A and B are shown apart, each in its own frame.
Chain A
Amino acid sequence: MIPELGHFALVLALVLAVVLAVVPMAASFQGRYAAMRLAPTLATAVAVFTSISFACLATAFLQDDFSVRVVAANSNSLLPPMYKFSAVWGNHEGSLLLWALILSYWLAAVAAFSQGLPTIMLARVLAVMGAIAVGFLSFSLLTSNPFERILPGVPADGNDLNPLLQDPGLIIHPPLLYMGYVGFSVAFAFAVAALLGGRLDAAWARWSRPWTNVAWAFLSLGIMLGSWWAYYELGWGGWWFWDPVENASFMPWLAGTALIHSLAVTEKRGLFRSWTVLLAIFAFSLSLLGTFLVRSGVLTSVHAFAADPARGLFVLIFLAIVVGGSLTLYALRAPAVRSHISFGTVSRESLLLLNNVVFLVATLTVLFGTLFPLLMDALGQGKYSVGPPYFNAVFVPLMALLVPFMGVGPLSRWRDDSLHRWKSRMLLPGVIVVILAVVLPFIADQGFNLWVALAILLAGWLVAGLWQDFAERRRNSPSLLRSLRRQSPSYWAMVLAHTGFAAAIVGVVATSQYSIERDLRMAPGDSETLAGYRFVFNETARVRGPNYLADAARFSVYRNDREVASLQAEKRRYLASGSVMTEAAIDPGLFRDLYVAMGEPVGTDGAWAIRLHYKPMVRWMWLGALLMGAAGLLTTFDRRYRREPRVAQTEAPRAPA
């Protein structure tokens, strides 16, 4: 009964979404205000019914209702309740419903927090998002109904959740990632609404900015969690594989990064208006493209859902309508006339333009690498694969090129600045940073490394720029406390995000350069020393978990004869599916991680293939992403976004009723 209720709620949500997409949009062109004012109510109703539907599916999972096909295929009665819940989105159908759910929440949030927006604008924004919801809800209902039953012949027990997904990180990774993906639909909807209205002005940028920042923040956090999960769960100690699915989430992030900076220019200076609109369309298009790549099976990946050409075709048609439609609208309505606002060659505008170009080129090179195998296959040139070396070779120089300018960014001035001023502010810090970059790597256990020195140089440069900017702001203020308090949340968000970026640079480079990784044959009693840490293999043991049996290897790690960690790595066999999973043991630390994973038994004396890692500063990278995420969320506290929309409403011209 409950699954049918869920199905019914989903159908209702679709109907409401259709009404939302059509009625307020039509009314906005006819000037019927009463119909336009229905939009927020409809948006909330879509959210309510999608929530009911989702709750029904979750209930089916929690109650082990194996007559529902996705439950039977992805859950098991032995599964811990926490994972029964996360199994809801551990499969194609359920994750699609989660996507629709999150989209409906964004809809409801826009409806709730945008009361200050002009009625026409709000109606159009919600209608565009409603149309996107129609796409996803019908995708779910027509090709991937999560409530489909297996009747008769209900299996006695389920097939179990893929053990890789039985992990706390995976409970929150997809929701966060989808929050980001779907969040860009808000920026997209604002862009389309602005194009429809023909008004691409600073007000438009101000309205969509907080939403874009929040979406970007969630996407950053989602990607970070995905990387962290791959690190401890896949058992290889890698944290980024340039896998098509990872790229699918990374491309919208790169485009989104360009977008949030471009929006800043449009809001503050009224420049780059068509460009910003295009980026907003681009960022959301890449989110949809990611969905297509992940769910159609055109590319092979470790994370891909079961491939189904029918689903692929549906997403492709949807993609064609959304992207093709919005780009056509863009071509017809975007202002072709150049703005007459000018800016100097040496100015903040130029730096932000450079930011945009770098991030766009980075997005395109990642896109190219991701689609290259498909392109070659389509041209009949054979089956290629593009590996991490390509992406590293392209991406690293791009980012390295960006940072010198990024360091100057915070202290640069709008309109017109001078190289002389930049030099006077950055010369001394620059010298200090160079000295630090040369000296600091010597402190590391592995000694001097050129790449690490460069990373410290770049990161230090970023921090120096932020510091000099703050020093300047302080100069105009009587006390430190006052000057701290006087800065806006937006300012602090920028500081946080840029610091996070600096931390990530150091983390990525240090862990790539200094990591020690050894695959060994070890029997109990053996020991091995890595970077001054002595790993002693104490014993093996048999362990029983709630739904698995495991061989465990227990290790003690000593540094200077003092025990610093005791680790238990496991090789699990899950009972329901019979699949084998490596569970790595990690001792985390701010400056180093110690990592032990089991391979397979070797020989007859109880020896195992053992993988030992020493990973310095690997946490910095996630810490950096965490800072960026926090920064994105912090911007919403800026009072500018609360107060001004109301002003905007009074300014908005009233259309004749």
Chain B
Amino acid sequence: MRRLKLFLPLGIFALLAVLLFRGLSLDPQALPSALIDRPLPAFSLPSLAGDKTLTPDGLIGEPFLLNVWATWCISCRVEHPYLQRLAAEEAVVIYGVNYKDDSAAARAWLAELGDPYVASIVDREGSLGLDLGVYGAPETYFVDADGVIRYRHVGVIDERIWTERLQPIYQQLRTEAGR
């Protein structure tokens, strides 16, 4: 009986640990996008190159990545070279969302570092980002051939994340589209 009492602190801690674990999954960053398995939200926004207006219909056709980026975002600079490699070497289709950014600075940025995007949507006000449920940049949405958002990746894409997690998803979207 006396020994049993000594287990009390352990029991309390176990309860606390369960709560903390639960807290982890309540983490705002870990929340899945509300838009998973829903079609791309409607938008009609200019392209960064300034040559056309982009709408969901103009993008849909084959699976693509929708990458949210900005010049103020240091992590975007980190993932940028890898996106370029994906676009150049693996022929991954990537559209950009230039999020709450200065367009002139964004164009200069792409001119300096290279442009992996088929086109970049100018989202100066962040309205598209809001519809997508963007928390911050960089974020990347995986959209299938029917224009349905299938996956959302928060944070930088690098070699490890791509090969371990994202490449299979992209491949699956490709396979589905080919059927």
Q: Which residues of A contact B (CB under 8 A)?
A: 69, 72-73, 150, 152-153, 155, 159, 274, 278, 281-282, 285, 292, 296-299, 307-309, 312-313, 316, 319-320, 323-324, 327-328, 330-332, 334, 336-337, 371, 374-375, 377-378
Contacts and interface: CB of A to CB of B under 8 A. Distances in A.
30 contacts: A153-B77, A153-B113, A155-B77, A159-B74, A281-B9, A296-B23, A296-B24, A297-B29, A298-B20, A298-B24, A298-B26, A307-B27, A307-B28, A309-B24, A309-B29, A316-B20, A316-B21, A319-B17, A323-B17, A324-B13, A327-B9, A327-B10, A330-B10, A331-B3, A332-B6, A336-B5, A336-B6, A371-B19, A374-B19, A378-B19
B126 interface: no
B30 interface: yes
B46 interface: no
Given A155-B74, A155-B77, A328 B10 contact: yes
For B28, B78, B113, which residue has the most chain A Cβ atoms within 10 angstroms? Answer: B78
A278 B27 contact: no
Contacts of B41: none
A161 to B, nearest CB: 12
B17 A296 contact: no
Interface residues of B, number: 30
Contacts of A274: 6
Interface in B64-93: 74-75, 77-78, 80-81
B80 A153 contact: yes
Interface in B49-77: 74-75, 77
Contacts, number: 92
B30 A309 contact: yes
Given A296-B27, A316-B24, A377-B26, A331 B10 contact: yes
Contacts of A328: 10
Contacts of A309: 24-25, 27, 29-30
Nearest to A73: B74
A441 B75 CA distance: 56
Nearest to A329: B10
Nearest 6 pairs of A and B residues by beta carbon: A298-B23, A327-B10, A336-B2, A153-B81, A331-B7, A159-B74
Nearest to B14: A324
A150 B17 contact: no
B22 interface: yes
A292 B21 CA distance: 11
B91 to A, nearest CB: 21
B81 A297 contact: no
Contact of A374 (B6, B23, B75, B80): B23
B147 to A, nearest CB: 29
